[in-house]
Amino acid sequence: MRQITRQIGQVAGGLFLALGIFWAGRESAHGFAAFWEHWWCPIPFALMLLGLAVVITIRRASPSA
């Protein structure tokens, strides 16, 4: 059960990371100042940080085999 949970966490973390990267690319097409024009603009950074934190946490928590 732990292995399945770990795999789901890695997939979810990777999806958050990829979504943040692609969203940031779309926003930065208007210039980096566009990140702060609206309330939703920092969301790509938050998604990237969340995804990275999940992936790092799961990798550190996994037993070394």
> DSSP class of residue 34?
G
Phi-psi category of 62—alpha, beta or left, where left has phi over 0 and alpha has psi -120 to 50? Answer: beta
What digits encode the pLDDT tens for the residues 3-62?
A: 888 888 888 988 888 888 787 766 555 555 665 666 667 788 888 888 889 888 887 776
Q: Residue 2's pLDDT is what?
A: 78
CA 65, chain centre distance (Å)? 26
Flag whether pLDDT at 63 surpasses 80. no
Q: Residue 32's pLDDT is what?
A: 54
Task: Record the pTM.
Answer: 0.66
Q: Which helix (H) or strand (E) holds 6?
A: helix 2-28
| Residue spans per domain, the chain | 2-61
Cβ atoms of residues 1 and 37 within 8 Å: no
